[in-house]
C-alpha cells in the first residue's frame, strides 16, 4: 500500500474539488494577516466586539481600536481602545478582506 498509489476516484460522481482558498496557512498566519484589519471578536459569553485589531499576543489578549460592543445584534457600548483578556475569546473573525 505504501509503494502503490491508489487509483483516482471515479470522476463522474465526485464533485470537483473546491478552488484553493486565497489565503491558506496556519492559524498564526491568519492572525498576522488580520492585524490592522477590521475584525469581529466573539467572547464565550456571546458578546461581540467589532473594531480594528491593533495587536494580540500569545495568550490571545487583544487590543482593539474603534470598538463597538454588540449584544444580541445591538450596539451596547463604544470604546476608543479596548484590551480584551484572551481567556474570554471564542473566535476572531475577519470583517474585511485580508
Partner 1 sequence: MESTIQEPFDLIRLSLSERVFVKLRGDRELTGILHAYDGHMNLIMSDVEERIMLVEGIDVGPPGQGATVKVATRKMDMLFVRGDGVILVSPPSRT
On the CB side of 18, how many CA atoms lie within 13 Å of its CA?
3
Bridging pattern class, strands 38-43 and 74-84? unpaired
Output the smallest distance, CB 8 to partner 1, in A. 49
Instruction: Name the residue nearer to partner 1 (CB basis): 25 or 36.
Output: 36
| Cell reading at 91 | 473566535
**With respect to partner 1, which residue has the nearer C-beta, 12 or 57?**
57
Q: What's the rounded Cα separation, in Å, for the pair 81 and 53?
A: 10
* Chain positions contacting partner 1, by CB under 8 A: 43, 45, 49, 54-57, 61-63, 67, 79-85, 87-88
Short-list 89, 44, 45, 46, CA closest to 64? 89
Q: How far is the CB of 64 from partner 1 (least distance, A)?
A: 9
Whole-number minimum distance, CB 23 to partner 1, in Å? 23
Q: Which three cell numbers stand for residue 23?
A: 489565503
Considering the complex, state which of residue 7 and residue 27 has its C-beta at the smaller distance from partner 1.
27
Amino acid at each position: 500500500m505504501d509503494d502503490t498509489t491508489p487509483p483516482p476516484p471515479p470522476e463522474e460522481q465526485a464533485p470537483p474539488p473546491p478552488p484553493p482558498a486565497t489565503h491558506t496557512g496556519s492559524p498564526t498566519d491568519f492572525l498576522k494577516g488580520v492585524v490592522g484589519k477590521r475584525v469581529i471578536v466573539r467572547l464565550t459569553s456571546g458578546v461581540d466586539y467589532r473594531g480594528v485589531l491593533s495587536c494580540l499576543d500569545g495568550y490571545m489578549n487583544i487590543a482593539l481600536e474603534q470598538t463597538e460592543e454588540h449584544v444580541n445584534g445591538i450596539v451596547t457600548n463604544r470604546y476608543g481602545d479596548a484590551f480584551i483578556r484572551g481567556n474570554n475569546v471564542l473566535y476572531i473573525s475577519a470583517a474585511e478582506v485580508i
